[in-house]
Every structure is written in structure tokens, then in C-alpha cells.
Amino acid sequence: MVKFILKRIGTMIIAMFMIILITFTLMHSIPGGPFTNTKGVPEEVTQAMEAKYGLDQPMPVQFVKYLGNLLHGDFGPSYKYTGKTVNDFIATGAPVSAKLGLVTLVFVLLTSIPMGILAALKNGKWQDMLLMAIATIGVTIPSFVIASMLIYVFSFKLNVLPTFGLDSWKSYILPVIAMGGYSVSYLARLMRSSLLEVMGQDYIRTARAKGLTEFAVVTKHALRNALIPVITFIAVSMAEMVAGSIIIEQVFSIPGIGRLLLASISNRDFPVVQAIVVILAFWVVLAGTVADIVNQRIDP
């Protein structure tokens, strides 16, 4: 098990290095620079600004310097806000996005897994058909459409829930439902199909033949194996929630890193964009690594 964990950590390090390299190369391959579009600024001032931030150096030199700073947790200065560092923006936006993502994940798990289990146990009955119909609708509708519908109904028509910020517990309801809608629907369908497949195995029939109750058969024997593909999707879903938060934060005016990313792209503030992409990529890779380790533990 230790060898497997070390191997996955090594793979994660290589993946992160490649992501950092590709992101850095793409950011520096964009035509123009962060100061080229500044109106009314002489060319000499632009060159001085590029020299100040080391943008006049060869790209390999810039990358080595950037990678060294990154290893020390320094994402560099902001090109657009004098006296501000990228770490300042991340420290402000990341906790907001992390809290929103955590609440959404809890909502997804508490909703989708019971839905999938109930649908599997009531296979072919009206409960199964109703839950799967809801799940099918949730899978097909994009998150921004769900967000628009929720805002229209619960904010404009009923006027019971706020539409911007995260100032109270009510503020989380609409963003969480909009961001977690797809994951709830897909995970419920996956949980149902996985549990139905496991329930048809020989060892489940053997457990029933021994006189175990249906509750014991499901919880002690079927559910553990049925959760293996579910855990993998949860890791992917966590990454999708982070990516989906970019749209949701913009729709609901939430001051997280998703909204910061869009603003930084518009401002051509490349260090902020690079930092957010690296952070999101690290989250995706870490989630996948943890899922692999958990799956290995559940089913060696």
C-alpha cells in the first residue's frame, strides 16, 4: 500500500510540473503583453515595466524563476494592481470558493447517494422512475440555466432568497443547488446502476441464503463494492464543482477565485491567471490521487 501511495504521489508531482509548464508557456505565447494595451503610455515606460517584472528575459529564465518562487509559495506580483501580490488575491478569494465547494459537496453526497440507493432498492417501481426522471432532467440542464431559473422563481417571483453574495445561510441555497445539480443527478444514476450490478452477484445471493436481513446484505456486502465507481466520480465531481464555480460565482456575484479568474483574464493580469489555473489543477490532480488511494484501500 505504501509503495502504491508513493507511486501515485510521484505521478501527481510529474503531472503538476507539466501543467505548470504548459500554463506558463501558453500565458507567455499570447500576442502582446500585460502593458502593451495601456493607452497613452510611452514605449519607454512599457519597456521599463517589462524590465521591472523580468518580462524582457528569455522565457526559460522566466520559467525557472517562476518555478522557484512557486516552490516557496510565492505566486508573484500583480501586473495591474501596484503593491498587490497574487497571494493577496488568492487569500481573499480561495476561502470563499472553498467554502462554497465544500457546502456543495456535502449537499451532493447527502442527496445523490440516498437517491441512488432508494432507486436501486425500488427498481422498476414508481419511486425508481420518479427519481431517475428527476436525475435525467438534472443531467441535461447546464448549471447556468439552472441558476437563471432559480433566480427567476425564488428571487424575482417569490422574493424569498437573495441573488448575490454569501452573506447568510440563505445565500448558499441557490448557488449550491445550481452548482451541484448535475453532480447530484449523475451520481444518483451511477449509484443506482452500480448497486444493481452488485446486487446481482453470486456472493449477494449467498449472503441472503445465510439468512441475513436485506439491510445487512445491502450495507455490509453490496454497498461497499458499489461505492468504488462512485468514489472515483466524486473526485471528478469535486473538480467539476471548482470549474463550475467560475460560472456560478459570476452569476451570483460571489467574490471567489472563479470570478477573480474572469476579471484577471480581462485585465491580462497573467500571474493571477496562472496562479488560479495551477491551484485548480492541483485540486483536480489531488482529488484523483485521493480517489485512487481510497479505491485501493476499499478493494485491494
Indicate the pLDDT class of residue 59, thresholds 50, 70 and 90: confident
More confident residue, 56 or 185: 185
For 3-57, what is each residue's pLDDT tens digit?
888 888 888 889 999 999 998 888 877 766 666 655 656 666 667 776 777 777 7
Q: pLDDT at position 183, please?
A: 85
What burial letters (b/e) apply to 175-191, b meaning 16+ CB within 10 Å?
bbbbbbbbbbbbbbbbb
Q: What is the pLDDT of residues 123-161, one digit of tens each?
A: 888 888 898 888 888 888 888 888 889 988 888 888 888
Percent of the chain at pLDDT > 70 equals: 90
Helix/strand/coil percent split, the chain, to 5: 80, 0, 20
**pLDDT computed for residue 287 by the predictor:** 79
Share of the chain above pLDDT 90, in %: 3
pLDDT digits (tens, 9 = 90+) for 83-139: 788 888 888 888 888 888 888 888 988 998 899 888 888 888 888 889 888 888 888
Q: Please, what is the average pLDDT of the chain?
A: 82
Q: How many CA atoms lie within 13 A of 41 on its CB side?
A: 13
So what's the pLDDT on residue 35?
Answer: 64
Q: Are 261 and 183 in contact (CB under 8 A)?
A: no
Determine the Cα–Cα distance for residues 3 and 1; give it in Å rounded to an integer. 5
14 vs 217: which has the higher pLDDT:
14
Q: Of 170, 136, 138, 168, nearest to 155 (Cα)?
A: 170
The pLDDT of residue 210 is above 70 = yes
Q: How many CB atoms lie within 10 A of CB 282?
A: 15
Q: Half-sphere exposure (CA, 13 Å, Cβ side) for 125?
A: 7
At residue 257, does pLDDT exceed 70? yes
* pLDDT number for residue 293: 79
Banded model confidence at residue 164, pLDDT cuts 50, 70, 90: confident
Distances (CA, A) of 18 to 13, 15, 240, 245, 287: 9, 5, 20, 24, 17
If you write DSSP's letter for every residue of 30-97 in order, what string do you get? SSS-TTTT-TT--HHHHHHHHHHTTTTS-HHHHHHHHHHHHHTT---B-SSSTT-BHHHHHHHHHHHH
**What size, in residues, is the chain?**
300
Enumerate the H helices of 122-201 as residue ranges. Answer: 126-140, 143-150, 169-199
Beta bridge mates, 77: 85
For residues 86 and 34, the answer to whether their CB atoms sit within 8 Å is no
Predicted local confidence at residue 111, as pLDDT? 92
The predicted pLDDT at position 36 comes to 63
**pLDDT value at residue 244:** 60
